[in-house]
Amino acid sequence: MSTQVDKGFLFVFEGPEFSGKSTQLKLVEDALVNLGYLVTRTFTPGGTSLGMAIRKIVKHPEYQDSMDDLTKLLLFSAGRRNVICDVIYPAMDKKHIVLCDRFTMSTIVYQGYAEGLDMKHISIINNMIEGSSMVDYYFVFDIPVSEIEKRKVQSGRTELDGYDKKPSSFHERIRSGYTAQWEKDPLHVGKIDGMLPKEQITGQIVSTILDIIIPSVGLK
């Protein structure tokens, strides 16, 4: 017996590098599947073959250094639009719960707050690719910048992308940008303390998702 919702839902996991959001995406997916829900997990930019091609370009350190910020914005947005059309819309039409690693909020925070692009331009492009907001809830992971550096070392990753190599001042702007987002819309944006134990974080997120979707649940 599956637990069926009467509409699709979109939940987005946001946060800085090494904040634990991608790990939680999989843990939350497993928890919801175990409860009988139909779940689609994806990420932007990426999630499709075209999206992965765009992701490789925008995340490559060589291109990051030679690419102006507006070009980067347009590429990120193209990758997100592709995932919306090819993954998110079809999954929501099938009444799936969609869990997405990054979405248009990343554009606001990274290209706007951190890289200084005009927020009006970002808003116009986000509206073009998303239309009216399709996200039911954002989970924004928060960790101190010093913890980012610590986890970067602990990861043992030898190949870091352009954002991983950014100085602490860049990551401070990222954190400030995310703080502004949950302060502006606390009803649809929740702060997740990325320093908490994994199991506790998973429980918090699953509980919030169930509170949102339960009114539309039926058993089939």
Residue 217 lies in a domain: no
Residue 220 lies in a domain: no
Domain holding 168: CATH number? 3.40.50.300
pTM confidence score: 0.92
Residue 108 lies in a domain: yes
List the one residue out of 15, 27, 22, 56 whose CA is nearest residue 42: 22
The confidence score (pLDDT) of residue 214 equals: 84
The confidence score (pLDDT) of residue 55 equals: 86
Domain that holds residue 66: 3-210
102: burial class by Cβ within 10 Å (0-12, 13-18, 19+)?
buried
Residue 219 lies in a domain: no
The confidence score (pLDDT) of residue 220 equals: 47
Total tally of structural domains belonging to the chain: 1
Residue 121 lies in a domain: yes
Q: Which tokens go with 203? A: 């429980």
Residue 115 lies in a domain: yes
pLDDT means over runs of 10, the chain (220 residues): 81 94 96 96 92 86 78 91 95 96 95 94 93 90 92 75 79 96 94 97 97 71
The confidence score (pLDDT) of residue 201 equals: 98
Residue 216 lies in a domain: no
Residue 68 lies in a domain: yes
